[in-house]
Structure 1
Amino acid sequence: MRVPLSWLAEYVELVPGSTPEDVHAALVQVGLEEEDVHTFELQGPIVVGEVLEFTEEPQSNGKTIRWCQVRVAPDGETAADGGDAVHGIVCGARNFFVGDKVVVTLPGAVLPGPFPIAARKTYGHVSDGMIASARELGLGDDHEGILRLSTIGIDAPVGTDAIELLGLNDAAVEINVTPDRGYAFSIRGVAREYAHATGARYRDPVELSSPATVSGAAGSGDVFPVEVRDEAPIRGRVGSSVFATRIVRDVDPTRPTPAWMVARLKLAGIRSLSVLVDITNYVMLELGQPIHGYDLDRLQGGIVVRRATPGEVITTLDGKERTLDPEDLLITDDRGAIGIAGVMGGADTEMSDATRNVLIEAANFDPVSIARSARRHKLPSEASKRFERGVDPQIAAAAATRVAQLMADLAGGTADAGGSLIHEAPEREAILLPDGYVTELIGVEYTDEEVHDALAEIGGAITRTAEGFSVVPPSWRPDLTGKADLAEEVARLAGYHRIPSVLPVAPPGRGLTRSQRIRRRVADALAAAGSTEVLSFPFATEDENARFGSADGSSVASVKLANALDASAALLRRSLLPGLVAAAKRNRSRGLVDVSLFELGLVFLPEAGRTYGSAELPVGDRRPSEAELDALQAGIPPQPRHVGALLVGDVVTKQPGQAAVPAGIVDALDVVRQVALAVGAEIEVAQGSHQALHPGRTAELRVAGRPVGFAGELLPSVAEENDLPRVVAVVELDLDAVIALTEPGLEAGQIGTYPAATQDLSLLVDAGVPASTVAGAVREGAGALLEELHLVDDYRGTGVPEGSKSLTFALRFRADDRTLTAAEASEAKLAGAAVARERTGAAIRE
């Protein structure tokens, strides 16, 4: 909201000598955040001049200029720039005449831009200044010709300071208005807040616009017929509770808008259009009550406020035809819709230069209905911005009267003395503010007198009761609905500076949980290994959840969003891989061909056939009970935290003496090892399968025998669908499960100081037996002396029976208290082979 200071000063006494910065500082004290300061960015001398004569001089470029003699100071006096009273000025405009009063910017002046003015030679003359247009002065967009003061109703002596004359010496402070304080979208509301901050005397402009009398009123006039017919209210609230009208006859819409009004509207961020429209905008800014004016002669019958019918259309003031929704609240006459209530009027009844009689509408509409219509039709307007935040329901009649008065004064109209008024706004209910509640909530000792005075200052009607104060909030504060709101008002008006700043003492023994610490270690380890962490949207399509959310292709349940950002991706993800694949595709399309990505995030795994979110939400005035929290938790689908990674391109780039090494399943398993090391887990790798991964290049990952994820290479067809190379390595682990299955607090083993004994073990085993199963059996049988075991060869060929394979393991043995003999090492190796033979049928290969 932009607030011109001259306008603000009409309703509250500004501290003498106040600058815009001082006003900002005062408003900040009561919670209105400062944004900016706006001025016309003009610097004098800029004066009223009179055109004495001019000569039209055609130029070789086809343009005709006027060489003008302009009086800029009374006879015998020096001009404001120190020069002669008459200046010679070259002007390209041709819309003025001899004797016209114009605005002259003399040498030394500065126009918005900045554009400094100086005497300069042009078209064979020395132009000693410039005759200005409205746009050059910052008053509007008109640049077709210079500004003739007679066209805006001004006749001032030559040499008069035009900056002050046109109101261009004003400034506006801009403040950020939060959604709960819609009353501050008006001069009325901001003036009241400035009075709260400084104690200055405040005059309510509504009280100065009494509906009782309007100067220039003629007779009693006819009461214009208005009916509210809302058969489908939203949330049980009727669309319009207040509707006031006034009629002004015989207006002259071609009259100029006074310069002071144009200047104030401009500073407030609104463009001047015509005197009738400017007046409605002016009163809206002044009182916070949106106003709409209709060409009375173009209305057919009375006004009916109703909901739209299916398929109904309207052409709005912006010239667009809009199909209406049955929830839209409309202003209609006998022929149909003439406006979307509280949003924008219709083109059929708009005020124009041909308008002679005006019907003024000032109404109060349901905020929810207006907000939905404005968003539905993508029509944010100054009116809807105020209605959706709540407009004072008690000021409609006064606002309509204020518009009628201005139209009578500035447009030459005659206002009917009467007017229609529907007023069915409910009375505000009293709020009980218990004794001591404000002090307890805010943490500052407030006396009863301070509490009473603060609430009385905001306009509350206060009654003392045995329990405390009974407060009826003012009509312009719909945000005050409970005792906590009243307590906040007391703290705000008494001064936030009184609230002490106390840093809470951190209780001992708190900090990151074990899971949080491990998750950070995992992220740090993967980043240190060269991967880049990404955060993808948690939304997925049905195809993505079906493909990546189930390893065997069985049907899966998904959580569907009620109001999805993208209708094609309306499900919550069951896997991290769709987001990683999309990120890789996006990076490769931008030239990053070697990509290593990882993500830690939640996946959503609902159980089929179960309904979630059915628990009743607890009220917000107390801490929920354990039973309520358990019910809420039960209504949430399982959301384990996974870690996923994707590698595509080369992990080792081509260089002299070194061929490129593309990413593959080996690199995916390296990621698994990095995660295992960061968690302190033993992750087993076994042959696996996944419908989205390459057969034979897929590993199932287990901890303590339980599956916790998979690693491998994407199916080439899946990679091709996403414009990725044939080989794409991927990993996904249920990190929560890995952490839960890993025993916490494991200590690092003792570093052996005795020599190690190394031996190899080659076993013949059926080709279908996983190597990890054989390795597990050997490890268990070899006992405590076995320090390390890893697979070094998997041979299938000459010398190995058909359907079998030869697995060679490298074993390292060490004892903590002695040097092992070769016999002890061999005995342990053979013990491991014996267990492998018993469990898998493996035989030692000679």
Structure 2
Amino acid sequence: MRAPMSWVREYVDLPAEVSVEDVAARLTALGLKLEALERPGHDMSGPLVVGRVLTMEPEPQKNGKTINWCSVDVGAANGTGEPQGIVCGAHNFEPGDLVVVVLPGGVLPGPFEISARKTYGHTSAGMICSALELGLGDDALSSKGGIIVLPKDAGEPGDDAFDLLHLRDEVIEFEINPDRAYALSMRGVAREIALAYDVAFRDPALRKVPAGNDDGYPVRVAATDACPVFVTRTVTGFDPTAPSPAWLARRVQLAGMRSISLAVDVTNYVMLELGNPIHGYDADKLAGPIVVRRAEAGEHITTLDGQDRALDPADLLITDDSGPIGLAGVMGGESTELSPTTTTVVVEAAHFTPVGIFRTARRHKLPTEGARRWERGVDPTLPAAAADRVAELLVRYGGGQVAAGVTQLGQAPAQVPIDLPLDLPARVSGLVIDAATVEADLRAVGCEVQVVGDRLTAVPPPWRPDLTDPYDLVEEVVRQVGYDEVPSVLPPAPSGRGLTREQRLRRRVGRTLAGEGLVEVVSFPFVGDATFDRLGLPADDVLRHAVRLANPLSSEEPFYTTTLLPGLLEAAARNLGRGAPGVALFETGTVAFPRDVAAPILGVDRRPTDAELQALFDAVPDQPLFLGAVLAGERDRSGWWGKGRGASWEDAVGVVRRLAVELSVDVRIEAAQRAPWHPGRCARFFVGDDEFGHAGELHPRVCAAFDLPARSAAVEIDLDFLMRRAPDVVRAPRLSHFPVAKEDVALVVAADLASEVVAATLREGAGELCESVRLFDVYTGEQAGEGRKSLAFALRFRASDRTLTETETGEAKAAAVALAAQRHGAEQRA
């Protein structure tokens, strides 16, 4: 909402010395958010005056153009009182007309400095101005197009034109929240200024209006639920060629709308002034009485923008005997449009309920200025005053007269009283607010207040449909006391509560990964088929079966992701591309797997049954919490100590191992083949017989598709699954002060047997004395045999109550080797 200060000052006694910056600050503190401050015309300077054209001599030129050599009376503005000689290429004025002249030394928007210069054989001492040259947009201020032709009584030659044309003004632009629709008018903004400065407010809607009678234009309202008030006034003998007065056109323009014609400008002006949208009909084009009703199936309307629109039965229409002539509250119809031949104007000022207008505007994609106000809520008491104001301005500047007939149907709905404990504003805000302040502040915003004991009853003003419950009234009081006065006090933590089990586990996971050198990131969870192609997923892969979004941000990524890896891989590539030698990133987030069950569409007229709710819940996709990680580039940095080490599949598997230890979960690892990992360097993880994720080296084609270094590694596991398996009581490590006994063993096994499987077997066979099993060497070659490999393990034994003997450790080692031989055909190397 753009509010010219010269306009709002007409309705409020604001001291002249108050700056626009201070006004903006005060209104922002009251809840009208400042969007911008503008000073149109402040880039112009110098003599800009009213001039009277004395003579104009047409002079054809060799280039086919005809210029006018003009003599213009500018009074004493030029210092001599003599007529000013000016060359002008426009032809829409004549001797005797009053025009706007900028004299040498003046500066127009651009900046464009004006000086006396020789052109077309004459010395032109100034310029006769058009609206466009003065920064006023198009030529709407001109009666004939081109040069501005002022009314005969606009002033005398030499008078200053800045004030005459309202060229210098200050405009505050606000971002209006939906609950403050009253501020979409000069009336509302001025009321807020009066509240901010505690000064007098003059309501432009307070005017004596004639009562309704039977002589007005006939109207019937069939949809009274959507249109409780409908008022019409008729202006006859209107001059459609009459120009908009300069001040009115300028104000409409400063408020952000285009000046079009007097009739249209007046309806826009009153809408901006009072907040009630107005519409005008050409009476000669109306066929029979006006009827307000719902649309019927198959009906169409051609709106003012020339579009043919198919109507919905929920649309509220303005009709006559010819059919629809307007989308109520949104846009008028082309068939009854005001035109350059309109001499009788029927002015409509109605009240429409917000929800219907909102849905119609969205349905037809017509976000008009009128619909913007209706859908937020308009003062229902305004129609009679708004129609009377429009009729007054049309007659004053367009001639004719207001017909005696007044149509006035319905009345404004009554406001619902709100009961409020007097101490509620203080309890909610934490401020010291006494009962007298609560009462005074609510009266200041227009409420009718009655206090009985420790309670207050307030009837909201009709321009505040947003005030519906006690806490709305609390906000009105607190915003006047001052949001900046509200103390910053941390609420006391309730006793007996803390983090949930899931919160504690997620924090442990995050700390563990941070300790391993990984950095957390958050990526967009949206993917498309191209993303799955880059991951190398087969056409029938379960990850390609994703939830399609109804309104995606991008048509190329219409699915909610089933994997966290795409966002992580792109983040890693972005960081490496900007110079990072290596990255280690992780993300925790939900993925979605559809259930292929159609969700029922439930009504809002009643509470759903248990069966309907269950059907709705059954259609909700499964959304487990996943953990993803990617390691690429250098894992150990290069330096003076030597060459660094690149990230590999061992690092990815190690991330899951470390988490399993931290969460005290026994995890089993097996070799696997799963896109997007390398088929020979991928591990899958189990708890018992339940698989919960994969880790390993990415496939070379995937690395190339995401522009990552070769042999980059990634992890993705179901974190919800892993956390559910974590015990509530963490197992503390067993500590012993007795020395450790060391035994090494080398076993020859099949080349495709995972070392982790062998290690688990050794640990099981060695029994409870075994403290750890660690692989420290892998050998493949002639000595191991074809299709075989040698795995060397370091076994560590320790007892909690004694020093182990050589016999005990030897027996434990032998038992471990024997079990490996039995299960895997392992042969011990000497």
2:227 paired residue among 240, 248, 255: 240
Distance 1:146 1:741, change over 3 A: same
Partner of 1:46: 48
Secondary structure at the aligned position of 1:9 is classed as: helix
Distance 1:308 1:87, change over 3 A: same
Partner of 2:351: 364
Partner of 1:198: 197
Partner of 1:376: 363
Distance 1:315 1:665, change over 3 A: farther
Partner of 1:640: 624
Matched, 1:491 2:493: no
Partner of 2:761: 777
Separation in structure 1 between the aligned mates of residue 145 and residue 556 of structure 2, nearest angstrom: 56
Deviation at 1:226, TM superposition (A): 2.6
Partner of 1:514: 504
Cα deviations by residue, 1:54-78 (Å, 9 ceiling, x for unpaired)? 45555565544444332222xxx4x
Distance 1:684 1:43, change over 3 A: farther
1:400 paired residue among 387, 391, 400: 387
Amino acid at match of 2:692: V
Cα deviations by residue, 1:285-322 (Å, 9 ceiling, x for unpaired)? 01100011111211222222233344433222222233
Query: Are the aligned partners of 1:252 and 1:356 in contact in 2 as well (CA < 8 Å)?
Result: yes
Deviation at 1:639, TM superposition (A): 4.0
Listed as ranges, the gaps of 5+ residues in structure 2 are: 608-615
Partner of 1:233: none
Deviation at 1:392, TM superposition (A): 0.9
Matched, 1:184 2:183: yes
Identity of aligned residues (%): 43
Partner of 1:764: 749
Amino acid at match of 2:364: H
Matched, 1:699 2:687: no
Distance 1:537 1:592, change over 3 A: farther
Separation in structure 2 between the aligned mates of residue 548 and residue 566 of structure 1, nearest angstrom: 22
Cα deviations by residue, 1:698-755 (Å, 9 ceiling, x for unpaired)? 4212357753311357789999999999998653112344455456867789899989
Partner of 1:10: 10
Deviation at 1:191, TM superposition (A): 1.6
Partner of 2:715: 731
Distance 1:136 1:751, change over 3 A: farther
Cα deviations by residue, 1:783-812 (Å, 9 ceiling, x for unpaired)? 5555441274375999758xx744513325
Number of equivalenced pairs: 809
Distance 1:102 1:425, change over 3 A: closer
Deviation at 1:570, TM superposition (A): 7.0
Secondary structure at the aligned position of 2:10 is classed as: coil
Partner of 2:221: 227
Alignment of 1:25-174 (within 5 A): 25-41=25-41, 42-57=44-59, 63-73=65-75, 77=76, 79=77, 82=79, 85-123=82-120, 125-142=122-139, 150=149, 152=151, 154-174=153-173
Separation in structure 1 between the aligned mates of residue 741 and residue 407 of structure 2, nearest angstrom: 103
Distance 1:779 1:257, change over 3 A: same
Partner of 1:811: 794
Name whichever of 18-27 and 186-195 sits farther off.
18-27
Separation in structure 2 between the aligned mates of residue 221 and residue 88 of structure 1, nearest angstrom: 57
Listed as ranges, the gaps of 5+ residues in structure 1 are: 214-218, 231-237, 620-631
Separation in structure 2 between the aligned mates of residue 472 and residue 611 of structure 1, nearest angstrom: 43
Secondary structure at the aligned position of 2:50 is classed as: strand
Query: Are the aligned partners of 1:548 and 1:574 in contact in 2 as well (CA < 8 Å)?
Result: no
Secondary structure at the aligned position of 2:222 is classed as: strand
Cα deviations by residue, 1:342-366 (Å, 9 ceiling, x for unpaired)? 1111222111101111121112222
Query: Are the aligned partners of 1:252 and 1:411 in contact in 2 as well (CA < 8 Å)?
Result: yes
Partner of 1:329: 316
Taking structure 2 as the reference length, the TM-score comes to 0.82
Separation in structure 2 between the aligned mates of residue 468 and residue 402 of structure 1, nearest angstrom: 40
Deviation at 1:279, TM superposition (A): 0.4
Amino acid at match of 2:48: I
Separation in structure 2 between the aligned mates of residue 618 and residue 548 of structure 1, nearest angstrom: 48
Partner of 2:414: 427
Distance 1:54 1:637, change over 3 A: closer
Distance 1:91 1:769, change over 3 A: same
Query: Are the aligned partners of 1:251 and 1:411 in contact in 2 as well (CA < 8 Å)?
Result: yes
Distance 1:114 1:62, change over 3 A: same
Separation in structure 2 between the aligned mates of residue 262 and residue 356 of structure 1, nearest angstrom: 21
Name whichever of 595-604 and 776-785 sits farther off.
595-604
Distance 1:152 1:734, change over 3 A: farther
Secondary structure at the aligned position of 2:476 is classed as: helix
Deviation at 1:439, TM superposition (A): 2.6
Deviation at 1:432, TM superposition (A): 1.1
Distance 1:515 1:424, change over 3 A: farther
1:338 paired residue among 325, 337, 350: 325
1:537 paired residue among 517, 520, 525: 525
Alignment of 1:409-420 (within 5 A): 409-420=396-407
Amino acid at match of 1:708: F
Q: Note the aligned Cα RMSD (angstroms).
A: 5.0
Secondary structure at the aligned position of 1:369 is classed as: helix
Query: Are the aligned partners of 2:262 and 2:398 in contact in 1 as well (CA < 8 Å)?
Result: yes
Cα deviations by residue, 1:455-474 (Å, 9 ceiling, x for unpaired)? 22222223344562222211
Partner of 1:629: none
Query: Are the aligned partners of 2:784 and 2:790 in contact in 1 as well (CA < 8 Å)?
Result: no
Query: Are the aligned partners of 1:14 and 1:200 in contact in 2 as well (CA < 8 Å)?
Result: yes
Deviation at 1:444, TM superposition (A): 2.9
Secondary structure at the aligned position of 2:367 is classed as: coil
Alignment of 1:277-316 (within 5 A): 277-316=264-303
Cα deviations by residue, 1:540-593 (Å, 9 ceiling, x for unpaired)? 789979x99999968999877677667997765443246557889999999999
Amino acid at match of 1:185: L
Deviation at 1:482, TM superposition (A): 0.4
Separation in structure 1 between the aligned mates of residue 176 and residue 296 of structure 2, nearest angstrom: 35
Separation in structure 1 between the aligned mates of residue 537 and residue 590 of structure 2, nearest angstrom: 13
Deviation at 1:448, TM superposition (A): 2.9
Secondary structure at the aligned position of 1:427 is classed as: coil
Separation in structure 2 between the aligned mates of residue 717 and residue 167 of structure 1, nearest angstrom: 68
Separation in structure 1 between the aligned mates of residue 539 and residue 820 of structure 2, nearest angstrom: 29
Deviation at 1:154, TM superposition (A): 4.3
Query: Are the aligned partners of 1:40 and 1:112 in contact in 2 as well (CA < 8 Å)?
Result: no
Secondary structure at the aligned position of 1:70 is classed as: strand
Secondary structure at the aligned position of 2:136 is classed as: coil
Deviation at 1:284, TM superposition (A): 0.2
Partner of 1:475: 462
Separation in structure 2 between the aligned mates of residue 516 and residue 532 of structure 1, nearest angstrom: 13
Separation in structure 2 between the aligned mates of residue 726 and residue 477 of structure 1, nearest angstrom: 65
Partner of 1:24: 24
Cα deviations by residue, 1:14-59 (Å, 9 ceiling, x for unpaired)? 1232322232233234222223233332323211112333455555
Amino acid at match of 2:239: D
Distance 1:438 1:583, change over 3 A: closer
Name whichever of 408-417 and 686-695 sits farther off.
686-695
1:708 paired residue among 692, 697, 700: 692
Distance 1:644 1:70, change over 3 A: same
Taking structure 1 as the reference length, the TM-score comes to 0.81
